[in-house]
Amino acid sequence: MTDKQWDILLRTINGEQFDPLPIGFIIDSPWLPNWYGIKILDYFSNDELWMQANLKAIEQFPDVSFLPGFWSEFGMCTEPSAFGSRCTFPQDEFPHAHKMINSADEMDSLIIPNPETDGLLPFVLNRLKLAQPHIQAKGHKIRFAVARGPLNIASYLMGATEFLTTMMMTPDKVHTFMQKITSFLKSWIELQIQTFPSIDGIFLLDDIIGFMGAEEFSIFGLPYFKEIYDQNVSVKFLHNDAPSRQSAPLLNDMGVNLFNMGFDVQLNELKELTSNKITLVGNLPPRDVLASGTKEEVELKTNELLESLKDKSRITMSCGGGMPPGVSTENIQSFINSVRSYKSA
């Protein structure tokens, strides 16, 4: 993100209203490689292609803030790989981290990784180090420390169903498990911040939040998110595109001030659930409209979304969730044009 884009984001979080509204998209490996015209594996394994794909995005859409921007990642394998999870990388499909914990007893023997040396994490950081001069030459900076959230990592290491079941059966072991993952995440985020002084934000992605009730999340999620977000940074960003009605009222307690949700809940409702304390990033349907719709349908649905907003403060226009596979340049431009040209009555 450029200094201007970062300034607009901070001012939006602080409640300042913009006309037209700012636009931001989460972009990563599900969309960017194929949009650029390469295979997903090429994007992961070739730093030059990774760089060129990201450069094309910022040059094609200069008015869009891409979040986190120049995201160095290996899909869902990034953090689980540090714990020793076996990772599968198809040529042009999403990578997958295989579960490695088969019982609650195995949680006790889990070793906390060293983010400087373990799994794919050194490759994530080194790619950014090599790319940093080129990123800065384009007027952008590395703004976010990025990680999958603690519940998300736990579900990959154990399997989502098994993890949620174990949570109810042996809560003490799950708390030990979560404490280990949280300790790792804190060190991983701190390493990113130390490596890149321009970082002033934390970005966590965790969809498992949406599969828990409010009470369960308050016990097994909230304390750990609070601990991870307890850093001296300006932006504390959360992505959860699973159902969020149960957890939304707790976002402020978590420390979150920027939230990207799923498309199944309206922004007006989320504003009520969060007492309008959280800046919302959304909420156009990503697959059925932005990816599969015509440019005319994108324009229509974007205008309907804008027209529906009762309060346009603390809003960054986007889709619900990250940019999905198959979104065309034409449809993104239709979205941008619709936001830029919208005039409220």
Kindly report the CATH number assigned to the domain that includes residue 296.
3.20.20.210
Segment holding 139, helix H or strand E = none
Integer angstrom CA distances of residue 184 from 83, 147, 314: 10, 11, 32
- d(CA 256, CA 77) in angstroms, rounded, equals 24
Note the pLDDT tens digit of each residue in 8-56: 999 999 999 999 999 999 999 999 999 999 999 999 999 999 999 999 9
Q: Are 77 and 97 in contact (CB under 8 A)?
A: yes
Token duo for residue 5: 């884009």
- d(CA 102, CA 258) in angstroms, rounded, equals 35
Show the 3-state SS of 207-242. CHHHHCCHHHHHHHCHHHHHHHHCCCCCEEEEEECC
- Give the structural domain span for 324: 3-341
Q: How high is the pLDDT of residue 343?
A: 80
- The number of folded domains in the chain is 1
Note the pLDDT tens digit of each residue in 88-133: 999 999 999 999 999 999 999 999 999 999 999 999 999 999 999 9
- d(CA 318, CA 122) in angstroms, rounded, equals 31
Note the pLDDT tens digit of each residue in 258-317: 999 999 999 999 999 999 999 999 999 999 999 999 999 999 999 999 999 999 999 999
- d(CA 246, CA 86) in angstroms, rounded, equals 33
Segment holding 149, helix H or strand E = none
pTM value surpassing 0.95: yes
Integer angstrom CA distances of residue 212 from 104, 220, 223: 19, 9, 15
Residue 107: which region, alpha, beta or left (left: phi > 0; alpha: psi -120 to 50)? alpha
